[in-house]
Each structure stands twice: as structure tokens, then as C-alpha cells.
Amino acid sequence: MAPEVATRGPDVTPAAVEFIGVAKRFGKNAPNVLDDVSLRIGAGEIVGIIGPSGAGKSTLARLINGLERPTTGQVLVDGRDHGTAREHELNELRTRIGMVFQQFNLFNSRTVAGNVGFALQVAGVAKSRRRARVAELLEFVGIADRAKAWPSALSGGQKQRVGIARALATSPSILIADEATSALDPQTTDDILKLLRRINSDLGTTIVVITHEMDVVREVCGRVAVLADGRLVDHGEVYDVFAHPHSAVTRGLVRHAVAGVPDTDLLDTLRARHRGRLLTVEIRDDSARFDLPALAATHGGSASVIHGGIADLGGRPFGALTYEVTAPDDAIEQIVGESRSAPGVVVHESRSR
């Protein structure tokens, strides 16, 4: 049986978390670690918070769970102001927020069941109810058969399942996964991401995924916010942010996650391998696919893919294909000329220029 369902709220999606003009600094004359951040996270969303190391991601997470308070501005969780909440109110708010960490943070002196049971004890769940609830949670995260094991006997993926079961113990409405898959191998990462998706769909839990891994964003997030030097530089649906990044930081992150227009180093490598003319066609779902091979063929030439790929982003195609075009000299110029005016086509200058 699934754990108790977290509150989803009415049909018009309310905000689970709202940052309003938030600045945070540690110390009076210290620089702002977060600066003028306004961000709304809707209930039931899976949102990615990404950005380079030191951008302020973890500080943002700590503001959500009330471990830190904003220097200026407001942080509202389920509509309630964290900044002005009294300690006992904060404690109550924290039970509605689960945290999962990169290093799992399990008690090595307690068994798997003991770790989850302890979270229930701290939350004030009666002893008579704890055993059944632990069993229910371990079943849900797929680790019921290891209930009596010690953390030291578990794999990284199993440890993270325990961490997630513990975080779900109080039926939080918000789950914060702070680099939760960063210490895991790719297959285990996939398994844990599937579990996060199931938590979101079955329990309605809002999930905030803090990560430096763009693949994670691509896999699970509907929306994404990009932090750079404490400022929110991009925010929106993952597809839109990837397709139309506003900042250089976002463009750099996207380039590592999905195939794009080759940079100069890669172009040099491709040119060393291929003597024909190189063109890149960006693949989006908002423009008709430009059929370069068909165009080349009408001019007696050919175009073959030499680099690139198409990823699935929220069910929509996204990527870029780089072609080598070969044809008689005059035909090449005609193909290039006609391609230049097509949307999403980048013509790379030939090597001799």
C-alpha cells in the first residue's frame, strides 16, 4: 500500500513555495549569496534548480526548509511566511518538507527500519503505528527485503532508497532532493529518478531537484530555474529554457546536456575528418524539419550526418544534426544558399576561408 497521500490542493495550482525578492547574505558586510530572487514553485511540480557550484542552490534549499532565513524578501511555503514564523511553527512547517541528500546521511548504528522508524519517532508518531508505517514506506521505495540490514551493507542506490523512505515518513507535501543522485552510477541514477517520478505522480508531492547534472533535469523536471552568482538567470519550462536560454551560463549547461551547434574545437575535429561542406540543422518541434539530404539530392549531391543527436525533452524532440554535404562545386553553393534561409540551419564556413 502506498504511503498517505500528501495534500494536493484545489484545481487551480497553488504555490507550494514562493520566493519574493529574496536576498541572503551570511554576515553584515558579506556579499549576497542570493540576490533579488523571485520564484514560484507550483504544487505538484517537479522543478530543477541548477547552476554552477557556489551559485546558491543549497542556500535556496535551506531557505525552503527554514534552516536559513532570508536577509530581505519573503519565502512562503504552502502560503505561510517562513521568515516571520516562530520556532514551533517552523518545526511544524519542516515536517511538511522532506530532504534527501547526496551522502544519504543515514545513522550507521541503526538498521534500515531503524533509520526510518527514528524519523517517525522524532515526528511524534505513536509507537503502535510506527512498525506498520515503516513497512509501508520501505515497500513503497522497493527495499522491504532489506529492513533488518545495516546501512554499511547496502549499495549506494539502496542507501538512497532508505533516505527517501525516511524523507517521506511524515508525508511531506514538498520533497527537496539536494544532489540526490550525484554519488550514484548512471543506471542507479535512472532507478532513483523513476522513484522520484512515482512519488510525484502517486503521492502528489512537489519535488525540488537541486542538481548540477543536466541529464537529471532532462529526465524528470517539468520546469527549471537556473542560478548564477546568486541570481535567477533563467526560469521556465525545461523545453523553453533549453531552446531559448537567456544567459551564457544556461547556454553552457545546455550544451553539455544535448547535442547543439558544434563549437570551434569540435568543428576543427570534424573538418579534419570530413572534406565536404558542414552544416548544422537544429531540431525543434516548433519548426518544420528542414530536409537537407533531399535538398542536396535535387542538386545531384548528398548529405550525411556526421555528428549530433536528438533527445526527448518532455516528449518533445530537441537536438541538432551536423551534416557533411558533398556535391559538384556550383551545386554546393546553391545548396548552401538555399539552406541559409531555412529556420534553424547554421552554415559553417568552409575550411579554406
Residues that bind ligand ADP (CB under 6 A): 26, 33, 51, 53-59
Closer residue to ligand ADP (CB): 57 or 133:
57
Count the alpha carbons within 13 Å of 245 in the hemisphere toward its beta carbon: 15
User: Please, which residue, 56 or 301, has the CB nearer to ligand ADP?
Assistant: 56
Name the minimum Å distance from CB 207 to ligand ADP: 17
129 secondary structure, DSSP code: H
Q: Which is nearer to ligand ADP, 54 or 300 (CB)?
A: 54
Q: How far is CA 350 from the centre of its chain?
A: 38
Distance between first and last Cα of the chain: 67
Smallest gap, in angstroms, from Cβ of residue 27 to ligand ADP? 7
> CB of residue 218 vs ligand ADP: minimum separation in angstroms?
19
Tell me how many degrees the CA angle 141-145-150 measures, rounded to the nearest 5. 95
Q: What secondary structure does DSSP assign to 214-269, as a single string?
A: HHHHHHH-SEEEEEETTEEEEEEEHHHHHHS--SHHHHHHHHHHS--S--HHHHHH
CA quadruple 274, 279, 280, 286: dihedral positive or negative? negative
Please state, in angstroms and rounded to a whole number, the distance separating the CA atoms of residues 289 and 283. 7
**Residue 64 CB, nearest approach to ligand ADP (Å):** 12
Give the C-alpha distances (Å, rounded to integers) separating 233 from 88, 114, 216, 217: 35, 42, 19, 16
Closest CB 324 distance from ligand ADP, rounded Å = 40
What are 352's three cell numbers?
Answer: 579554406
At its nearest, how many Å lie between ligand ADP and the CB of residue 40? 20
In the complex, minimum distance from the CB of residue 276 to ligand ADP, in angstroms, rounded to a whole number: 43
- Cβ proximity to ligand ADP: between 39 and 303 the closer is 39
**Cβ closer to ligand ADP: 41 or 278?**
41
The minimum distance between CB 212 and ligand ADP, in angstroms, equals 8
CA angle 321, 323, 329 (to 5 degrees): 155
Q: Rounded to the nearest 5°, which phi and psi values hold at 5?
A: -80, 130
Q: Which of 56, 98 has the CB closer to ligand ADP?
A: 56
Nearer to ligand ADP, 34 or 313 (CB): 34
Q: How far is the CB of 166 from ligand ADP (least distance, A)?
A: 22
Rounded Cα distance between 59 and 72, Å, is: 14
Residue 39 has a CB neighbour count (10 Å cut-off) of: 19
Coil, helix or strand for 305? strand
| C-beta closer to ligand ADP: residue 51 or 276 | 51
Q: What is the rounded radius of gyration, in angstroms, for the C-alpha atoms of the chain?
A: 25
